[in-house]
Structure 1
Amino acid sequence: MNSSVAQNGVQFEEIPYKEAIAKAKATHKPLFYMIYATWCPHCEKMRHEVFTDDKIGDYFNSTFINVMIDGEKGEGPELRKKFGLKAFPGLLFIDGNETLLYSLTGEFKADDLLAEAKNALIPEKQLPYLKDAFYADPTNADKCLAYLITLRKGSDRKALSPAAHVYLATQTEEKLPSAINWRIIANAVTDVDSREFRYVLKHQDQFAAVASPLRVQRKIENIVTEMLDPFVANMDSIGYKSQRIKVKSIQLRKVDSLVFSYDMMLAERTGDWKNYKKATIDGVEKYVWTNQKILKEIANVYLQHLADPESLTDAIKWTKHALELMDSYDGNIILAKLYLKANDRKQAAIYARKAKELTKNLGWNSQEADALFKELNIN
């Protein structure tokens, strides 16, 4: 079935991929694919605010065969895999030979999208040209970076890594700390075991001199995040454990603090309260002892999911320290509830009264404190 989505602006067709390719060949126009997810707010914003723009409609309707598809239904998953699409919205420019010319992910404003669409039609800015130019001269840093920057517009860092390592293999370690080599490493190196990343760790000052200390620190943190985040998101405890070993080998306090956060996150998502307790006992005083907000969040998890006396004692200690850092209504409520769970009604009453007093002074809703008063039979 060949149908057109009725809307102002871009006239998207809902046609099968093979039919779209055939139409692109017949009309000598490239394909433009908008691949969306129904839950994606950025997709919705582009569909209703950007693709309805008259100047976008005029250009896209005259220049491309425009197709919109749900990336999670029908042909969507297959096309995402075929063209390496890792995020929504995905915006693909494809020729009649099924060659990916250009790809983008994320939300764009109308003027920015129009500029990118025009870039997609310039051969020297297209992915096939940039890729061929680089691999014909893999020692050329400028050609490597040009290819990586364009590839990055529609791909994650892992897709950039193979080309980056082809170039970086031509560089001695002494040559690595240059401005352009840093940009290639920062954009494309994703493996903590790689020669380049290990060199960065050992020579942070040299890279900071050509970038900045903050950028070097962010790169280290980003590589940890990119390694651990997918396993936490998928609740893959086995995969996470193997990646965690690699990350811990970096042996930097900031990295260890990130791992601590991910350890807690994974344990909470999987309901593994034994490991949540282990992670927090090992890490609270090392990494978040001065953060009253996180201390209260951890104590609240203990309140909800742990009941043994040792755990309650630890949670009480952490909440008290949070209140020493900054007195707060929610901190007093958590502490009162922890004492109540530990069957210490006297202390529970003390902190319930403190919470109630704060609501009076600040004019806040006292519903939670009132409920505690009722449970504790306080007048």
Structure 2
Amino acid sequence: MRFLYLFFLFVSVPFIQAQNQFVPDDTPYTTALENAKTQGKPLFVMLYADWCPHCNLMKKEVFSDPAVLAFLNKNYVCVWKNIEKEEGTALKNKFNTKSLPTFLFIDPSNETLLYALKGELKKEAFMAEVNASLNPKLQLPYLEKEFLADPGNSVKFFNYLNTLKKGKDRTDLSVPTHIYLNTQSDAQLISETNWRVIANGVTDIKSREFQYVLSHEKEFAAVASQSRIDRKIESIVSESLRPYVDNLDTTNYYKQREVTKSVRLQKIDSMVFKFDLTLAERTEKWQFYKKVTLDNAQKLVWNDASALKDIGQTYLKHISDTESLKKSISWVKHAIELNDSYDGNLLLARLYNKIKDKKSALQYARDAKEIAKEMNWNPKEVDALLTELNTK
């Protein structure tokens, strides 16, 4: 009997686990669309990828619940599309999806987007949103119509914007934002409400509104705060440049870089500098890396010991001409003036070794060895360098 009990236990546990495991139904999109029309239901689409951890958590923690699936199947026709397969890719492009997971609620009669969600949600939050998506007065077409009928009404604008941004990235908020802001004079822009509009929806660095913020920082800081102004400047620069860096699109990066650099603020120059270095490293454009650092390192990261050492490490690995290496040595020396450290002294020793200055290399290697001894750290790296230097 005990054997039979254990046998059934081992058989039943995987079976129960399999029952609770969510497996996406890969019904063709066109079939699901026709089924939704026939049944008079909206269409629910989840866009996901197998490598997406947030998608997998939603499958495990939300869609494995029979009550969730029962509610979805009662009120929607549901499909689940992997964006790395043909239909999923087409839907991702059709609805301009940039985040995963994304949930689309679609009117099957004309494929209008009724509602959209993005990112990982807990079960309670997801179900609250799914319920809201069934209310016509909370859906995007109704909210958009209400807003366009009175585009200067900030309440109607935010009702539309706040629902829109649940499923869209900031760049997709630009059109309604500028429709609203075109009803506002320059003087009217300086208010807490209109600052919120700008902060949420303005993404064009050359736009009238952003340029007005830059030229009236103090006035906007009085109705918002300087930290909020700074965060907006940082976000708009990031949104302008990061996509090109992520896609290694050097042609468009350099074009947008010139637009960004036309805003002559040191805080923007510092951000562009960091994007320049990231792109140069990813594309292995070491001459560009060298030019950018030689032109700007002392001006923009002179008091950042970590950044100076990072640049020095890159020079050690990828830059060969002696004069440039000597410049990087001056940066790393300043870094250890700011913060005397084992890694800084070891880096200086290696840089001096690279330009064949054995005496200086030995000096800084010994300094690194002393720091390692004081801190009770493993001196393996510096010992190897000292051995190399002493055998030359």
TM value normalised by structure 1: 0.93
Give the equivalent residue in structure 2 for 1:357. 370
Q: Is the CA contact 2:22–2:59 (under 8 Å) kept in the aligned structure 1?
A: no
**For 1:95 and 1:34, how far apart are their aligned partners in 2?**
15
**For 1:58 and 1:355, how far apart are their aligned partners in 2?**
65
Q: Is the CA contact 2:245–2:253 (under 8 Å) kept in the aligned structure 1?
A: yes
**For 1:23 and 1:366, how far apart are their aligned partners in 2?**
69
1:44-75: CA deviation from partner (whole Å, max 9, x where unpaired): 22222332245534433433333222112211
Question: 5+ unaligned residues in a row in structure 1: which ranges?
Answer: 1-5
**For 1:31 and 1:278, how far apart are their aligned partners in 2?**
54
Shift of 1:236: 1.8
1:72-130: CA deviation from partner (whole Å, max 9, x where unpaired): 22111210121121111111112322221111121212222122111111111111111
Give the equivalent residue in structure 1 for 2:243. 230
Q: Give 1:336-375 correspondences, 5 Å limit.
A: 336-375=349-388
Q: Is the CA contact 1:9–1:57 (under 8 Å) kept in the aligned structure 2?
A: no
Structure 1 stretch 60-69 or stretch 215-224: which is displaced more?
60-69
1:302-354: CA deviation from partner (whole Å, max 9, x where unpaired): 00000111111011111111111112222122111111111112222222222
1:68 matched to 2:77? The reply is: no
Q: Is the CA contact 2:352–2:361 (under 8 Å) kept in the aligned structure 1?
A: yes
Q: Name the CA shift for 1:206/1:355 in 2 (closer, same or farther; >3 Å).
A: same
Q: Give 1:1-379 correspondences, 5 Å limit.
A: 8=20, 12-53=24-65, 55-97=67-109, 98-377=111-390
TM value normalised by structure 2: 0.90
**For 2:63 and 2:376, how far apart are their aligned partners in 1?**
47
Q: Secondary structure at the match of 2:343?
A: helix
- Say which one has the larger Rg: 2
Structure 1 stretch 57-66 or stretch 326-335: which is displaced more?
57-66
Amino acid at match of 1:114: M
**For 1:29 and 1:10, how far apart are their aligned partners in 2?**
22
Q: Name the CA shift for 1:66/1:12 in 2 (closer, same or farther; >3 Å).
A: farther
Q: Is the CA contact 2:49–2:84 (under 8 Å) kept in the aligned structure 1?
A: yes
Question: 5+ unaligned residues in a row in structure 2: which ranges?
Answer: 1-17
> What is the aligned-residue identity percentage?
51
Q: Is the CA contact 1:11–1:61 (under 8 Å) kept in the aligned structure 2?
A: no
Amino acid at match of 2:83: G
Q: Secondary structure at the match of 1:153?
A: coil
Q: How many residues are matched?
A: 373
Amino acid at match of 1:89: P
**For 1:65 and 1:364, how far apart are their aligned partners in 2?**
62
Q: Is the CA contact 1:12–1:66 (under 8 Å) kept in the aligned structure 2?
A: no
RMSD: 1.9
